[in-house]
Amino acid sequence: MENRIRALDANSPLRGKAAVGDVLVSINGNRIVDVLDYKFFAYDRRLHVVLRRADGSEYGVNVRKDEGGDLGLEFESYLMDRARSCANNCVFCFIDQLPKGMRPTMYFKDDDARLSFLLGNYITLTNLSQREIQRVIDLHISPINVSVHTTNEKLRCEMLRNPRAGESIAVMRRFAEHGIVMNCQIVCCPGLNDGEELQRTMRDLEAMYPGVHSVSIVPVGLTKFREGLYPLTPFTSEHAAETIRQVTAFGDECVKKHGTRIFFCGDEMYLKAGLELPEDAFYEEHTQLENGVGMIRLLETEFRSALRLSDTVDGVPFSIACGTSVAPFFEKLVALAAEKYPALDGRVWAIENDFFGRSINVSGLITGGDLIAQLKGKELGERLLISQNMLRREEMDFLDDVTLAEAVRALGVPIYPVEQDGFALFDAMAGELPAVRQPRGDTGAEEYYKYNQN
């Protein structure tokens, strides 16, 4: 049972009153179904908590704690329930474009409103029951991230290949009316939801402001594994530039009308168009950073600040490995640093994505196999910097299950995963290296740390 207690924190107000293995039943008379119920109803200072023992008997405990303080319980699953899978079969779904034989978790399509609120995942709203819709409103679960793609209900049904997908637009309007804030995304597919359809979608979403707080428009990503899938075409540089002009013009209107742009193209759209990214102020609150909007410009702004505040570099030769789309950007940053510190000795390696196909050119989808194949035998200096986004944080492995330790052994240099932060990037280039956590169960950890200690 997912809401069975697995552990109690040392400072839990239930420590000594509840036991591991007990099931959380209710708080202040409210039945606890999942983690959202738990977090909402456990907020108050005074609580009456009902638990169920292994023998089926129930008992109540009165608890006092700080308002908003946690009860300090860990459950058998994070959601206290099973993660809800996607009910759609989107024509652009990236998971459908994965090769066979990857780890099973790669093929799970989540579409869970709770993960949207807690972790920032994007959801389509197509599998919410009326009870869950009302709970979002009653508990004021906000903000949530919504994958919209189009407000044309018929087209949305076709793109998501779900006959009920169009109903979600009415749900969005209902959320907006009740003050639920939504950050939205549009995966733009040439010939489907671009051009006039994109204009219609932007108008409809703008009408929901301030409920719709921000919208990112990102180009569809297409791998080489599309046999038997819906025929999609990638963006050309000309079409990407045209879409940027369209979105920017509508955003300018929103600035005049609402004081905020609302609509932003993802960085990848600018890279495809070969256009310079807007200045940092263009991105306002950077609400859509996790969706790749303004990320590169913010990284440069932070990097320039770090460079301005710095007073030394260690001069040790290093390399940076990244996707082909951002390689020129990193070369620019290395050159900037070298202007101030001629002793800085860095080189950027653009990694082609042979695993997914060379049309995929972002750093986060580089595999360990491609990294090793393209850098083995190359002059990498004494350390190699990569984006933290290339790795799973717990297992410290790449998408193809190659571990960081295996890559270190194959390339013969320490590899440092760097956070998406300009200050952290400059520090790593200058010699102030990030700590690298030992992966769990990694038999190569000893050798891995031998490299990192040199």
Q: Name the DSSP class of 185.
A: E
Structural fold of domain 5-75: Pdz3 Domain (2.30.42)
**What confidence score (pLDDT) does residue 164 get?**
93
**Overall average pLDDT of the 113-137 stretch:** 77
Q: Do domains 5-75 and 95-292 have the same CATH topology?
A: no
In this structure, the number of other CB atoms found within 10 A of the CB of residue 13 comes to 21
Backbone dihedral angles phi then psi of residue 28, each to the nearest 5 degrees? 50, 40
**Overall average pLDDT of the 358-372 stretch:** 93
Task: Assign 453 a pLDDT band (cuts: 50, 70, 90).
Answer: very low
**What confidence score (pLDDT) does residue 451 get?**
47
**Overall average pLDDT of the 64-88 stretch:** 77
Residue of 297, 219, 206, 211 whose CA lies nearest to 265: 219
**Overall average pLDDT of the 236-243 stretch:** 97
In sequence order, what E strands does 298-408 have?
A: 318-323, 346-351, 384-387
Three-class SS of residue 110? Answer: strand
**Overall average pLDDT of the 68-96 stretch:** 79
Residue with the bigger pLDDT between 441 and 172: it is 172
Task: Assign 85 a pLDDT band (cuts: 50, 70, 90).
Answer: low
- Is the pLDDT at 402 greater than 80? The verdict is yes
**Overall average pLDDT of the 8-30 stretch:** 88
Domain ranges of the chain: 5-75, 95-292, 297-452
**Overall average pLDDT of the 321-339 stretch:** 96
**Overall average pLDDT of the 329-347 stretch:** 96
**What confidence score (pLDDT) does residue 408 get?**
93
**What confidence score (pLDDT) does residue 449 get?**
46
What is the residue-averaged pLDDT of the chain? 89
Give the architecture (CATH level 2) of 95-292.
Alpha-Beta Horseshoe (3.80)
8 A C-beta contact, residue 107 and residue 101: no
Q: Give dist(CA 316, CA 285) in Å, integer.
A: 36
8 A C-beta contact, residue 136 and residue 34: no
